[in-house]
C-alpha cells in the first residue's frame, strides 16, 4: 500500500458522539488491506452473472422514463443492486457535498444543510469538516443510504466556476487536508464516501465535453495533489470520475488518470464510479472505470451485456471484470456497510446537527472590511435598516445535485425558469434561517426595518432614517452554469452604492458562491463574506455582526481585482455554449478546449504572485475584531522532511481565532509562493500558542520524469497573514531527493 497519511495540521480526529453507530471510527488504509483479502475470497464464490451486478447502477428517481426504483432502493442519486446470496448489500447512493440532498424536491424528509464547501474551507479547520462529515453520514444512515456522493475537491482554477460553492479552495494542501477530514467523518458512520470529480473539472460551461490540456507535472503538483492528499487522509471507498475530457479523453475513460495515476502510482484499492451520464462506451472499463452510474443517462448500459461479451472473448477483459468486483467489494468491506447496514426510519438529531452547521458558519464568515471599527455593532443600536437579499426570509444556497433542504423544505424558492424534471434542480433556494429575525433578537432595543431592495429610492430612504444600514447582497451559483463575470446580479451594486451614499454606517453582508467584484468597496464601512451559510446561517451572520462571534474565517480563494488578471480573462466557451444543467453536446463541441498550461500548477494566488498582480483580496485574507502577531518562525529540516515552528499571539483585547499560514517563498534563489502548512488556533486576549506544522516534501518538489524531485539548496519560508502579506523570510538548507509516489 503506497498511500500514507501525511501532514500534521493540528487536525485532532475525535469521533462525534451524535447519532453514530457504536464504535464508529474513520476508515484506515489497514481496513482496506484486510478488506481486499476478504474481497478476493468472495470473488471466488461469484457466478459469472453475479460479476455483472456491482458493475452498474441506475439514477434512482422516478421521473426518468422507464425507471422503477427497486424495493431495496432509496429515492436519491443512485442505486446498484446487491447480491443477497453472498450478503453483498445494494448500494444506495445520495448526493451529499453539503448534506443529504433533496433530489429536486422529491425527498420531503429534510436534512441538515451545512454551509457551502467554500464556506467550510474558509474555516481552515479540519475538525470542523470532520464534524460536518460525521453529521451528514449519520443522517445518511438514518435515511438508509450507504454511499454518499461527497468530497468535491476540484481546485478553483476559475473564480467564475458555477460549482465553486460546492468545492473547497484553490490550493491543493488546503483542499486535500479538508476534504480528507470530511471523508473521514462521513465514513466513520459505516458509509462509503466518494471524492470527486476526478479530475480537472474546472468549469461547468460545456462540462460534458470541454477538453482540458495540461502537462502531467503541472497536474500532479496541483489538482491531482489535492486528490492525492484527500485520498491519503480520507481513505474514500470510491472516486467519481469527471465529465470533462483530459488530453482528448473523457475523465471516465482516461487510462492515464484512472489506471496509471490513481490505481498504479497511488496504489488506491477502492472503485471508480462514473459521474451520471459520463460513460462513452464499454472501453471505459479497460481504461480504469469500475462502475457505470446513472446508466439511464448514457447512450447504453455498457457495463452489463457488452462488458460480459468482451470478458467472454478476452482473458484480459475477464481479469478486469474480476478486478472491478474486487474493488467494489473492498470498499464495501473496508467501510463495513455489509456488517452495519443503514436502515430506513432512523432518527436524526436535527438540533445537534444544526449546531454543527451553525458552528461551521460562524467559523467560516470572513471579515473583509471594517473601517474605523464599524463592526461589531453595538447591541444598544437604536435603529437598523436591513435591506435586500431575502434577509427577511432565509439564507441563500447553491443549486444542482448538491442542493439540501431542511425540515419543512425551503423557506423560499425563486425560479430561474427552464422546463423538464431537471428544472427543479436549478432554482434559487433559501434555508429557513432569516437574518432579519436573528438581528432583531440580538438588538432588542432597536427599531429594525426591512426593505427588499427592489426599489433603490425606497431602500435609501430607510437607510437615511437609521443609525446603521445592513445590505444583504446575494450571488447565486449552480451546477451546470458558470458566472459570466464577477458582478453582483439584479442591480445590487447600484443598490449598495446608493445606500452607502445615504448612510456612512453601511455594512454589506455577502452571500456568494465564490469571489465577486466590489466596485463600492471603499464607500462602505464594513463587509462580511458569509458565503452560503447553511441551515443556521442567519444566526451565524447576526452573531458576527454583533460581536458574539469574532470572525476568524480566511479566504480559501483569491478575489481578483478584475477578470484581466486571470489566466483566462475570457472563460472558454462562455460566448457560444448554451448554459445547460444537463450539459449535453452542443454543435461544435469538439472545438471546446481549456488550456491549463497557461498557469500550469500556479493556480490562484500562485498565478497572482507569478504575475505580480494585486488582487482585490488575497488568498488567506481575513480580519478580526482583535489583532494577532505571528513570530519566531523556525524551520527544522532533516533530509527533505521539514517542520515549521512558530508562535501566534493575540495582541488585542478580545478572544478570537487566528490561522497561522506558512508559505514557501523562495527556492534556490528563485521566487516561489506556496502554502506549505496552516493551523487555526483560538486565543484569549494576550495569550500565545506555539504551533508546529509538518511540511510535506511534495510541496517543495517538482513533478518531472515520472516522480518528485526536491532540488538540494536554500529554501525560504515566511509566516503570512495571507498569501500577499508575508513576514521575515527564514532560509534553510534542504537536502535534495528524487522519489516515486
Which is nearer to ligand BGC, 196 or 568 (by Cβ)? 196
Q: Comparing C-alpha atoms, which of 242, 609, 538 is closest to residue 396?
A: 538
Instruction: Read off the C-alpha cell for 655.
Output: 478572544
Residue 86 CA to residue 50 CA, distance in Å, equals 10
Which is nearer to ligand BGC, 63 or 739 (by Cβ)? 63
Contacts of 656 (CB under 8 A, 6+ apart): 550, 551, 552, 624, 625, 626, 628, 650, 682, 683
Which is nearer to ligand BGC, 583 or 716 (by Cβ)? 583
Which is nearer to ligand BGC, 83 or 129 (by Cβ)? 129
Q: Comparing C-alpha atoms, which of 594, 567, 595, 600 is closest to residue 704?
A: 600
Q: How far is the CB of 149 from ligand BGC (least distance, A)?
A: 4
Which is nearer to ligand BGC, 592 or 623 (by Cβ)? 592
Q: How far is the CB of 657 from ligand BGC (least distance, A)?
A: 31
Q: How far is the CB of 401 from ligand BGC (least distance, A)?
A: 4
Which is nearer to ligand BGC, 293 or 449 (by Cβ)? 293
Which is nearer to ligand BGC, 362 or 477 (by Cβ)? 477
* 182: contact with ligand BGC by CB under 6 A: no
Residue 270 CA to residue 183 CA, distance in Å, equals 14
Contact at 8 Å (CB) between 164 and 477?
yes
Q: Comparing C-alpha atoms, which of 136, 263, 116, 236 is closest to residue 176?
A: 236
Q: How far is the CB of 244 from ligand BGC (least distance, A)?
A: 11
Residue 254 CA to residue 270 CA, distance in Å, equals 17
Q: How far is the CB of 112 from ligand BGC (least distance, A)?
A: 19
Among residues 102, 268, 276, 531, the one that binds ligand BGC under rule CB under 6 A: 276
Q: How far is the CB of 275 from ligand BGC (least distance, A)?
A: 5
* 425: contact with ligand BGC by CB under 6 A: no
Mark out the alpha helices in 223-282 (DSSP H runs). Answer: 223-234, 255
Which is nearer to ligand BGC, 149 or 616 (by Cβ)? 149
Judged by DSSP in three states, 648 sits in: strand
Q: How far is the CB of 95 from ligand BGC (least distance, A)?
A: 5
Four-point Cα dihedral 35, 39, 40, 42, nearest 10: 140
Residue 667 CA to residue 172 CA, distance in Å, equals 19
Q: How far is the CB of 548 from ligand BGC (least distance, A)?
A: 36
DSSP 546-564: TTSS------SS-B-S-GG
Which is nearer to ligand BGC, 250 or 393 (by Cβ)? 250
Residue 670 CA to residue 471 CA, distance in Å, equals 45
Name residue, grid cell 531527493.
Answer: 737
Instruction: Read off the C-alpha cell for 214.
Output: 495540461
* 95: contact with ligand BGC by CB under 6 A: yes
Contact at 8 Å (CB) between 182 and 194?
no
Which is nearer to ligand BGC, 274 or 601 (by Cβ)? 274
Burial class (CB in 10 A: 0-12, 13-18, 19+), 313: exposed
Site for ligand BGC in 183-202 (CB under 6 A): 196
Residue 140 CA to residue 134 CA, distance in Å, equals 10
Which is nearer to ligand BGC, 233 or 293 (by Cβ)? 293
Which is nearer to ligand BGC, 238 or 550 (by Cβ)? 238
Among residues 139, 170, 253, 275, the one that binds ligand BGC under rule CB under 6 A: 275
Q: How far is the CB of 249 from ligand BGC (least distance, A)?
A: 18
Which is nearer to ligand BGC, 275 or 482 (by Cβ)? 275
DSSP tag of 116: P
Instruction: Read off the C-alpha cell for 74.
Output: 432509496
Which is nearer to ligand BGC, 93 or 338 (by Cβ)? 93
Instruction: Read off the C-alpha cell for 80.
Output: 446498484
* 678: contact with ligand BGC by CB under 6 A: no
Cα first-last separation, the chain:
11
Residue 51 CA to residue 504 CA, distance in Å, equals 69
* 204: contact with ligand BGC by CB under 6 A: no
Q: How far is the CB of 115 from ligand BGC (least distance, A)?
A: 18
Residue 153 CA to residue 24 CA, distance in Å, equals 25
Q: How far is the CB of 34 from ligand BGC (least distance, A)?
A: 28
Residue 469 CA to residue 185 CA, distance in Å, equals 40
DSSP 288-307: T--BB-SGGGSSS-TTTHHH
Name residue, grid cell 455489509.
Answer: 338
Which is nearer to ligand BGC, 9 or 101 (by Cβ)? 101
Please work out the total of residues on this chain that contact ligand BGC, with binding judged by CB under 6 A.
Answer: 7
Residue 2: CA count within 13 A, CB half-sphere? 12
Angle at 522 between CA 549 and CA 436, to 5 degrees: 40
Ramachandran sector of residue 510 (left: φ over 0; alpha: ψ -120 to 50; beta: rest):
beta
Q: How far is the CB of 240 from ligand BGC (least distance, A)?
A: 6
Which is nearer to ligand BGC, 582 or 687 (by Cβ)? 582
Q: How far is the CB of 97 from ligand BGC (least distance, A)?
A: 7
* 401: contact with ligand BGC by CB under 6 A: yes
Contact at 8 Å (CB) between 279 and 252?
yes
Residue 662 CA to residue 633 CA, distance in Å, equals 9
Q: How far is the CB of 303 from ligand BGC (least distance, A)?
A: 17
Contacts of 609 (CB under 8 A, 6+ apart): 602, 671, 673, 723
Q: How far is the CB of 736 from ligand BGC (least distance, A)?
A: 41
Q: How far is the CB of 290 from ligand BGC (least distance, A)?
A: 16
Which is nearer to ligand BGC, 450 or 532 (by Cβ)? 532
Among residues 77, 134, 545, 701, the one that binds ligand BGC under rule CB under 6 A: 77
Instruction: Read off the C-alpha cell for 45.
Output: 464464490
* 295: contact with ligand BGC by CB under 6 A: no
Residue 634 CA to residue 730 CA, distance in Å, equals 7
* 149: contact with ligand BGC by CB under 6 A: yes
Q: How far is the CB of 257 from ligand BGC (least distance, A)?
A: 17
Site residues, ligand BGC (CB under 6 A): 77, 95, 149, 196, 275-276, 401
Amino acid at each position: 500500500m503506497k498511500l500514507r497519511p501525511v501532514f500534521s495540521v493540528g487536525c485532532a480526529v475525535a469521533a462525534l458522539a451524535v447519532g453514530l453507530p457504536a464504535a464508529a471510527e474513520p476508515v484506515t488504509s489497514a481496513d482496506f488491506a484486510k478488506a481486499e483479502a476478504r474481497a478476493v475470497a468472495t470473488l471466488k464464490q461469484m457466478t459469472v452473472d453475479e460479476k455483472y451486478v456491482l458493475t452498474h447502477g441506475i439514477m434512482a428517481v422516478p421521473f426518468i422514463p422507464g425507471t422503477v426504483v427497486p424495493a431495496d432502493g432509496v429515492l436519491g442519486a443512485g442505486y446498484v443492486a446487491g447480491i443477497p446470496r453472498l450478503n453483498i448489500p445494494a448500494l444506495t447512493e445520495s448526493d451529499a457535498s453539503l448534506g443529504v440532498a433533496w433530489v429536486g424536491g422529491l425527498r420531503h424528509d429534510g436534512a441538515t444543510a451545512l454551509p457551502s464547501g467554500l464556506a467550510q474551507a474558509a474555516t481552515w479547520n479540519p475538525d470542523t469538516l470532520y464534524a460536518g462529515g460525521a453529521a451528514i453520514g449519520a443522517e445518511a444512515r438514518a435515511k438508509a443510504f450507504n454511499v454518499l456522493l461527497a468530497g468535491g475537491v476540484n481546485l478553483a482554477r476559475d473564480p467564475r466556476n458555477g460549482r465553486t460553492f460546492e468545492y473547497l479552495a484553490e490550493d491543493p494542501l488546503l483542499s486535500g487536508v479538508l476534504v480528507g477530514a470530511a471523508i473521514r467523518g462521513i465514513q466513520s458512520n459505516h458509509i462509503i464516501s466518494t471524492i470527486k470529480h476526478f479530475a480537472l473539472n474546472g468549469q461547468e460551461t460545456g462540462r460534458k465535453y470541454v477538453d482540458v490540456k495540461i502537462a502531467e507535472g503541472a497536474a500532479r503538483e496541483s489538482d491531482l495533489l489535492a486528490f492525492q492528499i484527500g485520498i491519503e487522509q480520507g481513505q474514500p471507498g470510491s472516486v467519481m470520475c469527471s465529465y470533462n475530457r483530459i488530453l482528448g479523453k473523457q475523465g471516465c475513460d482516461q487510462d492515464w488518470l484512472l489506471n496509471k495515476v490513481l490505481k498504479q502510482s497511488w496504489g488506491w484499492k477502492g472503485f471508480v464510479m462514473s459521474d451520471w451520464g459520463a460513460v462513452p462506451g464499454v472501453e471505459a472499463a479497460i481504461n480504469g472505470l469500475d462502475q457505470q452510474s446513472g446508466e439511464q443517462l448514457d447512450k447504453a448500459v455498457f457495463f452489463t451485456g457488452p462488458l460480459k461479451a468482451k470478458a467472454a472473448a478476452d482473458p484480459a477483459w475477464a481479469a478486469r471484470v474480476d478486478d472491478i468486483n474486487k474493488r467494489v467489494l473492498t470498499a464495501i468491506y473496508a467501510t463495513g456497510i455489509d456488517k452495519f447496514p443503514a436502515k430506513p426510519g432512523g432518527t436524526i438529531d436535527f438540533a445537534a446537527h444544526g449546531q454543527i452547521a451553525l458552528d461551521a458558519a460562524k467559523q467560516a464568515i470572513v471579515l473583509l472590511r471594517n473601517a474605523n471599527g464599524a463592526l461589531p455593532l453595538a447591541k444598544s443600536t437604536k435603529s437598523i435598516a436591513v435591506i435586500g437579499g431575502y434577509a427577511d426570509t432565509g439564507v441563500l444556497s447553491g443549486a444542482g445535485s448538491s442542493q439540501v433542504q431542511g425540515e419543512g423544505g425551503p423557506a423560499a424558492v425563486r425560479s430561474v425558469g427552464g422546463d423538464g424534471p431537471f428544472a427543479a434542480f436549478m432554482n434559487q433556494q433559501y434555508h429557513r434561517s432569516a437574518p432579519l429575525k436573528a438581528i432583531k433578537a440580538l438588538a432588542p432595543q432597536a427599531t429594525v426595518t426591512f426593505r427588499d431592495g427592489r426599489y433603490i429610492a425606497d431602500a435609501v430612504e430607510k437607510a437615511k432614517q437609521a443609525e446603521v444600514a445592513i445590505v444583504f447582497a446575494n450571488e447565486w451559483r449552480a451546477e451546470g452554469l458558470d458566472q459570466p463575470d464577477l458582478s453582483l446580479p439584479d442591480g445590487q451594486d447600484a443598490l449598495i452604492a446608493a445606500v452607502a451614499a445615504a448612510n456612512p454606517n453601511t455594512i454589506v453582508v455577502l452571500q456568494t458562491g465564490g469571489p465577486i467584484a466590489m466596485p463600492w468597496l471603499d464607500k462602505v464601512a464594513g463587509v462580511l463574506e458569509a458565503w452560503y451559510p447553511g441551515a443556521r446561517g442567519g444566526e451565524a451572520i447576526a452573531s458576527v455582526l454583533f460581536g458574539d462571534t469574532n470572525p476568524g474565517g480566511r479566504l480559501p480563494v483569491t478575489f481578483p481585482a478584475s477578470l484581466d488578471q486571470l489566466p483566462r480573462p475570457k472563460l472558454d466557451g462562455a460566448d457560444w455554449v448554451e448554459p445547460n444543467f444537463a450539459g449535453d453536446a452542443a454543435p461544435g463541441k469538439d472545438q471546446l478546449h481549456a488550456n491549463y498550461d497557461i498557469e500550469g500548477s500556479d493556480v490562484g494566488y500562485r498565478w497572482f504572485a507569478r504575475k505580480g498582480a494585486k488582487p482585490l483580496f488575497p488568498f488567506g485574507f481575513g480580519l478580526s475584531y482583535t489583532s494577532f502577531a505571528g513570530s519566531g518562525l523556525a524551520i527544522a529540516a532533516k533530509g527533505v522532511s521539514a517542520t515549521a515552528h512558530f508562535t501566534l499571539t493575540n495582541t488585542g483585547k478580545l478572544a478570537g481565532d487566528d490561522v497561522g499560514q506558512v508559505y514557501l517563498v523562495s527556492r534556490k534563489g528563485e521566487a516561489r509562493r506556496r502554502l506549505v502548512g496552516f493551523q487555526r488556533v483560538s486565543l484569549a486576549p494576550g495569550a500565545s500558542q506555539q504551533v508546529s506544522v509538518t511540511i510535506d516534501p511534495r510541496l517543495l518538489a517538482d513533478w518531472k520524469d515520472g516522480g518528485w524531485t526536491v532540488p538540494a539548496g536554500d529554501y525560504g519560508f515566511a509566516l503570512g497573514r495571507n498569501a500577499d502579506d508575508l513576514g521575515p523570510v527564514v532560509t534553510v538548507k534542504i537536502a535534495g531527493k528524487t522519489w516515486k509516489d
